[in-house]
A and B are shown apart, each in its own frame.
Chain A
Amino acid sequence: MPVDVRLPTVLRSQAGGQASVPVDGNTIGDVLRTLVGEHPGLKGQVLTNDGALHKFVNVYVNDDDVRYLQSLDTPVKDGDEISILPAVAGGMGATAEG
C-alpha cells in the first residue's frame, strides 16, 4: 500500500529531485526503511545506522509528529501523507561567545 512521502528541499537531490515519492509500508518504520532502500543517498539523513529516527529530522503522519505517536511503529494507512522536514534549531549556546 503506497503512501506519499513529502521530502524537504535539502533531501530531494538524493531522490531524483522529486518533492514527493510513493513508498509502500504499514508503519512509519516500514516506509522510511523502504524509502532509504530505494534512495540510498538518504541513508544516514533520515535514519541512523542503528535504524532509529535521525534527530535532525521530524517526520509527520498528516498533521502529527510521529515522536508524539508511536515513533517508527506508528501505523500508516492508505491516503496518509507522510512529511519529512529538517529539525530547525540552534542558538547562542552554552558559552558566553557560543
Chain B
Amino acid sequence: MAQVSRITLPLMLRLPAEFHLQMLGHCLHGLPDEACGLLAGDPVTGDVTAIYRTRNVADSARYYTVDPREHLRADRDAESHGSSIIGVFHSHTHTDAYPSPTDVSQAPDPSWHYVLVSLRDTHPVVRSYRIAEGRIMEESVVLKPHELTPS
C-alpha cells in the first residue's frame, strides 16, 4: 500500500509507562495464546495517547487477529479524542520480539508502529518496528514516566 514516505519520520515510539505495563499485563494474561491490541496517538511524533487491549479472535498461540468490532470501536474512540490508530502490539509466546514473515506479509499500514512483546524468556522483551514494502526497520521505544499531579 501507499504512504511509504511516512516512514522517513523519526523512528520512535513514545510510550507512557502505564501503557507499557498494561500491554505486558494483557500479553501475559493472554497466555498460552498470543495477545494483541491497538495503539492510538499522534502519527507524527509517535506519542501514544491510548491503548486498546483487544481480543485475539484467532484464539491461537501462533497467530493473532484483532477482533474487528473492537478495532472499529477503538478507531472511533481515537477519532473522538482527536487522535488515530497508529499501531498494533502483539505477543510472540515462543520466539523473539521480531516480526515474523506472517507479521510482515500482513502488515496493514506502512505508517503504523508494530510492537512485539516476546514472552519466550523469564522477562518480557518489548521492541517496536516499522514495516513497509516487506522491509523491517527497528525503532526506539521511549518510555515516558508517569506524570505527577501537582499538589
Q: Which residues of A contact B (CB under 8 A)?
A: 8-11, 13-14, 41, 45, 56, 58, 60, 63-65, 83, 85-94, 96-98
Q: Which residues of B contact A (CB under 8 A)?
A: 1-3, 34, 36, 38, 43, 58, 60, 62-66, 68-69, 71-72, 75, 84-85, 88, 90, 92-95, 99-103, 106-111
The interface residues of chain B lying within 8 Å CB-to-CB of A56 are 106, 108
The interface residues of chain A lying within 8 Å CB-to-CB of B75 are 8, 83, 85
Q: Are A13 and B62 interface neighbours, CB within 8 A? A: no
Q: Are A86 and B102 interface neighbours, CB within 8 A? A: no
With A10-B109, A45-B1 given, is the CB distance from A92 to B93 under 8 Å? Answer: yes
The interface residues of chain A lying within 8 Å CB-to-CB of B99 are 90
Q: Are B62 and A10 interface neighbours, CB within 8 A? A: no
Q: How far is it, in angstroms, between the C-alpha of A91 and the C-alpha of B116 when the chains are bound?
A: 10
Q: Are B36 and A88 interface neighbours, CB within 8 A? A: yes
The interface residues of chain A lying within 8 Å CB-to-CB of B60 are 91
